[in-house]
Structure 1
Amino acid sequence: MSSTPVQAYRSILRELKKASVQNGKISRALSFHFRALASQANTESKVQELQDCALFLHSQREYNVLLQRYNPLVDYTAEERIEATARRVGLNMPKTHTAEGQSQGIAGSEQYT
C-alpha cells in the first residue's frame, strides 16, 4: 500500500493529537519538524519512514493505555504499592511507630486502630 507524504504527515498529526496531554494541542516545534520531513519525503523510503513514525506513535499510545488498564499500580511508590496489594487481598498493613510516638500506616497518611 503506497501512501503520499501528505497522508503520512496527517496520520502523524492525528497520533500526536490523540497522545497530547493538553486537549489535543500539538507544539509548533513538533508540527514544524514533521512538516519539514514530509515536504522532503520525495522518495518511497522517506514516506516509509514517516509511516513507521506514525505506527510507532500509535503503538506507544496503545501501550500506555494497556499499561494503565492492566497495571494500575505503576505510578505508586513502593510503600503505596505494598499497601494497595495488601488491601486487595483483604489485609491491613501493621502500624509503624514514629519518633514522636504516634502510630501511622506504612504510607504515613492513614492511622489504623
Structure 2
Amino acid sequence: MSCLGARAAYRALYRSYRQSSRHPSPPIPSSINTHLRSLAIAGLEGPQLQSIVQYLASSTLYQELLRRYNPTDDLTSPERLTATVNRVGLKMPEPLGWDSSSHSSRTQES
C-alpha cells in the first residue's frame, strides 16, 4: 500500500472510530491510535479495510438505534418504571409512606 493509500486508510479508520465512540469528542487512547495506524500501514487490502470501516459504521448505527428505541436503558429501576408509566399516559401513584408504628395504631383504633 502506498504512503497516500495508507494515510487515507488511516484517516478513514480514525473517522469511523471517532464516530462510533459514545463521547462527542473522544480522546483516542494511544494504544488504539497505534493499533489503527498499524492496521493502515500493515498493507490491508481494500476489502479488509472496508470491512473494518463498515464494522465501525454499523457499531455507530447500532448505538444510535439503541438510544432511540430503548431510551430507558441507562435509567435506574424506579426511573425506568416512572418513564414506562408516563409513556402509556398514566401517572405514578404517590407512595403511601406507612411505617410500622402508624399502621399498628390505625388497627388498634378500629
Shorter-chain-normalised TM-score: which range? 0.5 to 0.7
Residue 52 of structure 1 is matched in structure 2 by 51
Residue 15 of structure 1 is matched in structure 2 by 16
How far apart are residue 100 of structure 1 and its match? 7.9
Residues 90, 100 of structure 1: alpha-carbon distance in 2 compared, 3 angstrom cutoff = farther
Residue 97 of structure 1 is matched in structure 2 by 97
Could you tell me the TM-score, scaled by structure 2's length? 0.67
Residues 68, 9 of structure 1: alpha-carbon distance in 2 compared, 3 angstrom cutoff = same
Segments of structure 2 that go 5 or more residues without pairing to the other structure are 102-110
Identity of aligned residues (%): 36
Segments of structure 1 that go 5 or more residues without pairing to the other structure are 102-113
How far apart are residue 24 of structure 1 and its match? 4.4
How far apart are residue 84 of structure 1 and its match? 1.1
Residue 107 of structure 2 is matched in structure 1 by none
How far apart are residue 41 of structure 1 and its match? 1.4
Q: Distance in 2 between matches of 1:74 and 1:16?
A: 23
Q: Which one scores higher on RCO, CA 8 angstroms, separation ≥ 6? A: 2
Residue 83 of structure 2 is matched in structure 1 by 84
Does residue 31 in structure 1 map to residue 33 in structure 2? yes
| C-alpha RMSD over aligned residues | 2.5
| Greater radius of gyration (CA) | 2
Could you tell me the TM-score, scaled by structure 1's length? 0.66
Q: Give the residue type in structure 1 aligned to 2:18.
A: K
How far apart are residue 30 of structure 1 and its match? 1.0
Does residue 69 in structure 1 map to residue 56 in structure 2? no
Matched positions, count: 95
Q: Give the residue type in structure 2 aligned to 1:34.
A: L
Q: Distance in 1 between matches of 2:29 and 2:43?
A: 21
